[in-house]
Structure 1
């Protein structure tokens, strides 16, 4: 097994310099760091995580809390997070934090207290005051995506403004009979994103002098299948004649597009459809959407927590909300009435 002394001899430096170069701690010139990394790569040397942890007090591992691991949005955020962490030499430990109280308690009381992580990321999951307090007892940086949460540093998208932007786009195209596919109450959890998107939708209609109509709403479960079922329910009614649909997620919007075409509606000639998220399938379906760049959210969260860890170990948490960007992407699923 290759040792650090062999890397030092090949690179022509001391073992202490090798340690500083490969750990990222301490002052090492760029040329020396490159020479050490080349020598380590040639010899197949990898820093022992145990030895590195003992020497630096760090595990170079970040704990990530997510409510779902099988949903596209969370997978996209995790992809960005993992890529950014790996790029800076950190591992990731994933904790699927469900609604089950006993399971959540084990995560906070046992797993996170084992001292195996240098910080915690919470992705679009609402933590109660007790859970936030338990995280605080760990003395580790904590960054959340979602919120806002006044007790944590959060990266957050303004979902009210996102939905308002999407709906205003339909209004600007001349649509007045605009249906909405949102979420039923059991899916309106954590940061109540469906509710906030409903509020933005209704605000845009009110701004345009259009009274929101309850009969133009159909609940779904933020999946393509759910969006398809909801769109069929809306479009099959003889008393409703929507010319546009705002779907609270791209997956539901894609489902609505498929359902509309199945029922003989042309998109966008007969029916305009807009979604939210920036799903990777959106370009394929030519879906107009408000992109919230989920992979970039994950990367930004990873960079934020590593900056706290590496730049100032003793710095207090920077509580408050940090806004995340979003952008209206107009494609072929919306058109002027």
Structure 2
């Protein structure tokens, strides 16, 4: 039998807002589960080059008092609120259904704990973006819908600024929609893990969360993030000779053969291997289609690994991926012929060089 790898006062309003915003992200921490992602807050000043013009004063209804009153009202709205703690991240999503049954997002956020760094997004009842709040700086950017170019900027201890910048207005809107889509995906994946059958739950967490990037301009290769829960991958996977590192590489090989090499022009997959729920970069590993097929031909696929496969467009599925069967007697050969071939490499990302062992 195959073994399963389961493997009033503006300053007072500002105080209320900060407490309220953090309450949104941190107030229901007990609802969370295991880590799947690492969050890095984006700096608002880097979203778009600042080519804005400054106006004399805010439009009617957008004074400091007006904005904080509106945000307090938004916090008090009834909604279907979902809160998931995933490792050191808190994701929140607040939605309602319209008359046609379509979901409308009222607010969403992602934040690190216990620091509270993160971003919150506030939407009007119509679904239009109202404001972006950067929890780590206290900065709030309010989008005025008329003309789609006016941004009200509130920064703690500074005067309110009115910015006219259509490009930045659009970038904030599209960025918010992308961020909310990612938050929805994270919450949905976590919900899948929480509702698995009792037998699967007893078997432990998945072998990996596998995030597949968009193909981009290269149709011959796939780029994948391979997140695993283990912080120490050199330890024994199930008490035998097989290490978690060996099991992870065997799973990458099987995924490459079965999921990423179906087209005759496919050449292989690049795996950004991340341990400790995405906190430790283990290196980028390239698995070619020829190597993957050769390994499967040599070692077979006699057992399965449970993985969560998340596609770039947001779909996620729980997958029992058949992988090589590696009893203790086969482990030395597997390490010599496979592990030593699949060497992890450093990568450049966002101007930063990441090498195996670096914290993310």
Q: TM-score, normalised by structure 2?
A: 0.23
Relative contact order higher in (CA < 8 Å, ≥ 6 apart): 1
| Structure with the higher fraction of residues in strand conformation | 2
Q: TM-score, normalized by length of structure 1? A: 0.24
